[in-house]
Homo-oligomer: A and B are copies of this chain.
Amino acid sequence: MLGQPTRDRQAERQEATRLEILAAAWEIARDKGLAELTLRDVAFRIGMRAPSLYSYFGSKNAIYDAMFGQAWTDYLTLINAVEPTLPRSPRDGVKAIAHTFFDYAVADHARHQLMNQRTIPGFVPSPESYAPAIEVLERARRHLARFGVQGNERVDLFTALIGGLVDAQQANDLGGDRWARLLDDAIDMFANHVGIPKTTGRGS
């Protein structure tokens, strides 16, 4: 009476190969650029031919989609790790949130392109892959609210501000810090605008 086997070896191997494919795709994207990624390249890197990939992903965009999901899920776990270390002071807290996002975005250009820009023609993330992105935004929204940034408009302004700095940095000074240097100042500007008290919270 052994009953059902406790593991599905086939599914495990399938999943392992999927991850292998994605890892290869990330390598190539980082090396040669996100758009320069080729199915034949990805396949060869793991000892396959291009058509074999179609046993694991329905299309090239499905690979991008899985990468998109991975990137946002990774960021979610990063947030989880950072969360307990967030400063109590509202202003420093907002700064920490901004820095976390900024650094993550700047650390990997291909990843940032995929996560935050519409640089792949025809690629639209699926709802499943988009879910962690929404979760991240929701999480950010809660934290910001806790620090006194409330209302959709203020959150929208915050995201646009940080996003603008990241994009400017990546587009005009890749690898440098011309806009990275402005981040703290920008957050102070924002914090003053929405009435977040300075480091020792005495205001309002």
Binding site for B on A (CB under 8 A): 33, 35-36, 117-119, 121-122, 153, 156-157, 159-165, 167-168, 171, 178-179, 181-182, 185-186, 188-190, 192-193
Chain B residues with Cβ under 8 A from A36's Cβ?
121-122
Q: Which residues of B contact A159 (CB under 8 A)?
A: 168
- Nearest chain B CB to A175's CB is how many angstroms away? 15
Q: Supply 26 A–B pairs (Cβ within 8 Å), ascending by A.
A: A33-B121, A35-B121, A35-B122, A36-B122, A117-B117, A118-B119, A118-B171, A119-B119, A119-B121, A153-B182, A156-B168, A157-B186, A160-B165, A160-B179, A160-B182, A161-B164, A161-B186, A162-B164, A163-B167, A163-B168, A164-B165, A164-B167, A189-B189, A189-B192, A189-B193, A193-B193
Which of B35, B121, B161, B192 is within 8 Å of A161, CB to CB?
B161
Q: In the complex this chain forms, how many copies of it are found?
A: 2
List the B side residues contacting A153 at CB < 8 Å: 181-182, 185
Q: Identify A160's interface contact among B117, B118, B119, B168, CB under 8 A.
A: B168
Does more than half of chain A's interface fall in helix, strand or loop, or is it mixed?
helix
User: What distance in Å separates the Cβ of A5 from its nearest Cβ neighbour in chain B?
Assistant: 46
Residues on the B chain within 8 Å of A118, using CB: 119, 171
**Chain B residues with Cβ under 8 A from A157's Cβ?**
182, 185-186, 189
State in angstroms the CA–CA spacing of A35 and B122 once bound together: 8
4 more contacts with CB within 8 A, not counting A157-B189, A188-B193, A192-B193, are A36-B121, A36-B122, A156-B168, A160-B164
Give CA–CA (A117, B172) in the complex, Å.
11
A165 CB to closest chain B CB (Å) equals: 5
